[in-house]
Amino acid sequence: MPLLINPFAELDLIRQPEQANDPLQAFDAADEYLLEHLAEQALPSSARVLVLNDSFGALAISLSRHVQVVSSGDSYLARLGLEKNLPRNGQPFDSVTFVPASAAWQGPFERVLVRVPKTLALLEEQLIRLQGHLAPGAQVIAGAMIKHLPRAAGDLLEKYIGPVQASLARKKARLLIATAESKAPFTSPYPTRYRLDEPALNLLNHANVFCREGLDIGTRAFLPHLPKNLGQARVADLGCGNGVLAIVSALANPQAQYTLVDESYMAVQSARENWHAALGERDVEIRADDGLASQPERSLDVVLCNPPFHQQQVVGDFLAWRMFQQAREVLVPGGALYIVGNRHLGYHSKLARLFRGVEQVGANPKFVVLKARK
């Protein structure tokens, strides 16, 4: 894989999750542009720089020996990439402070470098949270590949930070440079809430949660076919989002034990709040994780999953396939994975390569619900 060469460092970076012969690299021209721009500003070593949404540590690791760096984002996989790429490049794995998007950072910061996320609600929430954390004369510098840079990103920077100047394009990347000015306090529109009628639930959704304005159609197709009569089964909701699958299942299975995992810290935060609102102090484990990577083998009876078909802007079934493999590892013999997926994705044949039996338990014109038994 090519090295990231910039004015601050030469880095050998890997993506997360790792895959053999990965055709994608762990940085792009927008990372390079952000670092080159910052180098031109000749900040002192005492300067505090906040890095938002760094994919796998490209920005934070480059800067960590030159300024005081705090990295923050919503991806557990990005954090894992940062922690693996630091020692890979001769630095202690904890030499950069990482703050999950569900937690608060502490300013003031002279510069904020932002990789514009796919979900603009996350960007909006992050810009609102910068209130009171910017030093006088601070700049917020957002970068993205032009094909992933919506006009609304500049509008949000201007609304919440101050006047914005767009850079020239370089290697199909562009920067938006906002200079902080005094503004009246803003109230965040997040989290959002929506109501589920059957069962009656009010669901809270922090800014980066998938389908935060209403129940997504895949989950809607899945809910009537969740397994019943689970007794004391150990159940995981893999890629739990706001927790709706696990919560609906738990309400119908009062003796079952639940584990909810997602790689989004805001999803985990939402799921935790929704679980306690619906189920009070009922025992549960809810965590940010690389899927079921840290789950012991043969420790679950049932896995529920509405798998994603993208990682940030990268579309494909790699993550879904990996989730299916993880589920197989952690299920007991005879245990079952239940999934919902678009018909055209052909999950039935993929699951048949891993599990001894696959059956369709529900369907509508767009989605199928499958049960795969180990």
Q: Is the pLDDT of residue 200 over 70?
A: yes
> Domain limits at 52?
4-179
For residues 313 and 285, the answer to whether their CB atoms sit within 8 Å is no
Q: Please return the burial class of 102, using the count of CB atoms within 10 Å of its CB with bins 0-12, 13-18 and 19+.
A: middle
Same domain, 269 and 120: no
Q: Is the pLDDT of residue 22 over 70?
A: yes
Question: Of 134, 150, 179, which closes a domain?
Answer: 179
Q: Is the pLDDT of residue 319 over 90?
A: no
DSSP 274: H
Q: Is the pLDDT of residue 202 over 90?
A: yes
Same domain, 291 and 364: yes
What pLDDT shows up at residue 316?
A: 53
Mean of pLDDT values over 288-302: 96
Same domain, 166 and 246: no
Report the CATH number at residue 13. Answer: 3.40.50.150
Q: Of 239, 277, 275, nearest to 257 (Cα)?
A: 275
Residue 164 lies inside a defined structural domain of this protein: yes
Residue 119 lies inside a defined structural domain of this protein: yes
Same domain, 148 and 278: no
Return the half-sphere exposure (C-beta side, CA atoms, 13 A cut-off) of residue 158. Answer: 9
Q: Is the pLDDT of residue 74 over 80?
A: yes
pTM of the model: 0.94
Mean of pLDDT values over 120-129: 97
**Summary mean pLDDT of the chain:** 94
The per-residue DSSP string of 345-362 comes to G-HHHHHHTTSSEEEEEE
Same domain, 174 and 279: no
Residue 228 lies inside a defined structural domain of this protein: yes
For residues 63 and 49, the answer to whether their CB atoms sit within 8 Å is yes
Question: Of 149, 179, 209, which closes a domain?
Answer: 179
What pLDDT shows up at residue 130?
A: 97
